[in-house]
Chain A
């Protein structure tokens, strides 16, 4: 188990890139929708 698999590590970096991009994309859409809601429904 303790044999280090460098190829698997390098291969998995794509998940880091795609994963973080995906999380930020979804969050960006959510932030945008909150701004729209806050603009449409002002607090009284």
Chain B
């Protein structure tokens, strides 16, 4: 049988850790296909997880006697994530997809975006309580930004060893927003509060405002929260392409071709850090738990802020709108609309929820920059 060694010698390099990682990869693929949970990210991550955990496959950089052999996925990681290029390019596409009009119509909605970042800072403290060092704790906390590119950007800038687990947690919980948010909202609000109606006046924003908005946001955030200048700049550049009215083909390309291409590469590149040796740790379970805490306390922060606001304003705000202040767009806004209509079929909260939701997009980037300002 010795003559078959050249075919089967690698079988003996398989460990139970590899098998567990194949199961995790399979689970991610199943969630993507069967449950339609963030399939654009979870499917490449799932497949990549299986690929990088094939022993001696050479897709990730490995040490051999003759020196390191560079793997293609490690190469992609270094070229696109190690230098933050992919998350930034993806933000051009996201910026081109977002219509900020509901937010510009009612700028007060921006406050909910700020309040719903509470989960980030609460989770930072919780991660410190569980013994993570400051850089890792800050990287884990940014799962609460509910924003994949920001999570990857911050975790990578802080050189976190847990970037794989953080990315998986961020995208998984974004997909689980419809399961995570409603019970927390119901726990914190009364039926009467959930039935509060809010008036919406559309079409009151000028074209000049829509064009100036991305430029002014970039300047303000870039100066004050300078660490997020690149993130917010690329997001707003995408939005300027959309709103300027003279670059519709570039806007379409950013929204579709660019976003799809980068998402494809981002998912598979992340798996450079999904090897059994890096992923199968007790810390990974803790990170998944802390990610859930981050999403729950984002929701708590948004809802409670709206309730406090109602103590001081004449026109009451439906406190559920506060929960839409997280960056998970548009899932969170849709949930609030659904919950509102369940309580009162004539209650249309969607545009307010969308306003709060897109404000969360900007606020989460600001929060990411502030984390870097404070810690890096």
Contact = CB atoms under 8 A, between A and B. Distances in A.
A5 B129 contact: yes
Interface stretch (B11-19, B147-155, B215-223, B340-348): B215-223
Contact of A38 (B113, B121, B205, B217): B205
A42 to B, nearest CB: 6
B208 A24 contact: no
B293 interface: no
B128 A23 contact: no
Contact of A34 (B113, B213, B286, B370): B213
Contact of B367 (A3, A4, A11, A23): A23
A23 B362 contact: no
Given A15-B375, A30-B362, A43-B203, A25 B224 contact: yes
Interface of A: 1-6, 8-9, 11-13, 15-16, 18-20, 22-27, 29-31, 33-35, 37-38, 40-44
Nearest to A22: B370
B130 A43 contact: no
Interface residues of B, number: 50
Nearest to A17: B121
A12 B137 contact: yes
Contacts, number: 128
Given A26-B224, A30-B220, A15 B203 contact: no
B6 to A, nearest CB: 43
B310 interface: no
Interface of B: 104, 107-108, 110-111, 113-114, 117-118, 120-122, 124-126, 128-131, 134, 137-138, 203-209, 212-213, 216-217, 220-221, 224-225, 282-283, 286, 359, 362-363, 366-367, 370-371, 373-375
Contacts of B118: 20
Task: Give the 10 A-B CB pairs with smallest separation, nearest first.
Answer: A41-B208, A9-B129, A16-B121, A41-B206, A34-B107, A8-B128, A12-B128, A27-B114, A22-B370, A12-B125
Given A20-B121, A43-B204, 13 more contacts: A1-B131, A1-B283, A12-B128, A16-B124, A22-B225, A22-B373, A25-B224, A30-B110, A31-B107, A31-B108, A37-B208, A38-B209, A42-B206
Contacts of A41: 206-209, 212
A35 to B, nearest CB: 6
B131 A13 contact: no
B163 to A, nearest CB: 18
